[in-house]
Structure 1
Amino acid sequence: MVETSAALGIIERQTAVLARNFELLHRRTDIHDDLDRAEYLLLRTLDQHGPMDINSLAVCLGLDPSTAGRQVSVLQRGGLVQRAPAPADRRRSIITPTDDGLRRMEVVRERRTESLAALLAGWSQEDLDTLGTMFDRYNRAVAAEYLSEPARDPSGTDISGRGRLATRS
């Protein structure tokens, strides 16, 4: 238990430093001048999982549906997503990224990837793979603990990733 407590103490401190470093990187780069982080992540989620309703999108992102709805409205005004009535329930809207939204998200993704490549240039492939795996496991643990229900696409398929550890490309 002593080793676990020491390891958890290190992890606790490092997550605080990591959060600060993410803010530092955000302030010192212009990567998110075109799309802010919320817009980028929303578009990334739609790109990865496909069109979905506000509630499913909110669950995927760990947001309140009203917050997700406000973010979608901003993106819709900017022409980056579109809403269409759900075929099975016309009271629900299905959110789909536009071609322009996907193009702008891809530009930000490429710039983020280039920035990470420069920052981690001296790391071995094994270290990069390990960091990616550990971030994935950490993010899945947070989702499992704090997301109230699995995210589902319009067909009802679980898209939250819970219960499976997959390598992302």
Structure 2
Amino acid sequence: MDSSGLPAPPGVDDRWLVSDRLGHQMIRLMRAVERAKAGADAPDGVERAAYVLLARLVLDGPRRSNALAESVHSDPSTVSRQVAGLVRAGLVERRPDPEDGRATLLAPTAEGLRVFQANRDRRNREIGALTAHWDEADRCRLAELLERLATDIERHHAPAPPPVLAPEAS
């Protein structure tokens, strides 16, 4: 039987069945997270996609808009629109790039840091409450496995590096 209780297709092995179970549980998890997000207020009025940008700037430090877009696997024009909202809200500021005076770096403001920390604290308390009955070793193992899965997904879906061109023969 597969994870839906249906007979497994002919010729599948245990690895396929475990992958099917994992896929089913990932869908359940994503739906549960989406339901929880739908019922929660946006952090300090910041739309969720923009909040991800604020978090990256806090955790990774100031960066150019294109580098920020790349780090969150998003389109630069979308990131530009979301950053404009963060700037208007006083959570992110534009600073001159010390390496190139024509360019700007995006950086969290003191208010941006406060908003990030308040929401990080709220998230961590909620996860702590949800898993309070878990053994600490299980909590740590889940964090390790989720990190590994996220890394593998990012690697699998990373854009291919540009081809290396052979030098022209003279």
2:135 aligns with: 124
2:112 aligns with: 101
Shift of 1:30: 3.3
The answer (yes or no) to whether the contact 2:46–2:86 under 8 Å persists in 1 is: no
Computing the radius of gyration over CA atoms, which structure comes out larger, 1 or 2?
Answer: 2
The reply on whether 1:143 has 2:170 as its aligned counterpart is no
Q: Which residue identity is paired with 1:125?
A: E
- Take 1:50 and 1:18, find their aligned partners in 2: how far apart are those partners? 30
Greater RCO (CA < 8 Å, at least 6 residues apart): 1
In structure 2, which of residues 96, 99, 102 is the aligned counterpart of residue 88 of structure 1? Answer: 99
- Take 2:85 and 2:18, find their aligned partners in 1: how far apart are those partners? 42
- Take 1:148 and 1:63, find their aligned partners in 2: how far apart are those partners? 12
Aligned residues: 150
- Take 1:44 and 1:54, find their aligned partners in 2: how far apart are those partners? 14
Percent sequence identity is 33
- Take 1:125 and 1:57, find their aligned partners in 2: how far apart are those partners? 34
* Structure 1: stretches of 5+ with no match in the other structure: 151-169
Q: Which residue identity is paired with 2:65?
A: I
Please, what TM-score do these two structures have when normalized by structure 2?
0.80
Secondary structure of the 1:40 match is helix
Shift of 1:146: 2.2
Query: Over aligned residues, Cα RMSD in angstroms?
Result: 1.9
2:124 aligns with: 113
The answer (yes or no) to whether the contact 1:59–1:149 under 8 Å persists in 2 is: no
- Take 2:23 and 2:92, find their aligned partners in 1: how far apart are those partners? 37
Secondary structure of the 2:101 match is coil
Shift of 1:22: 0.7
2:82 aligns with: 71
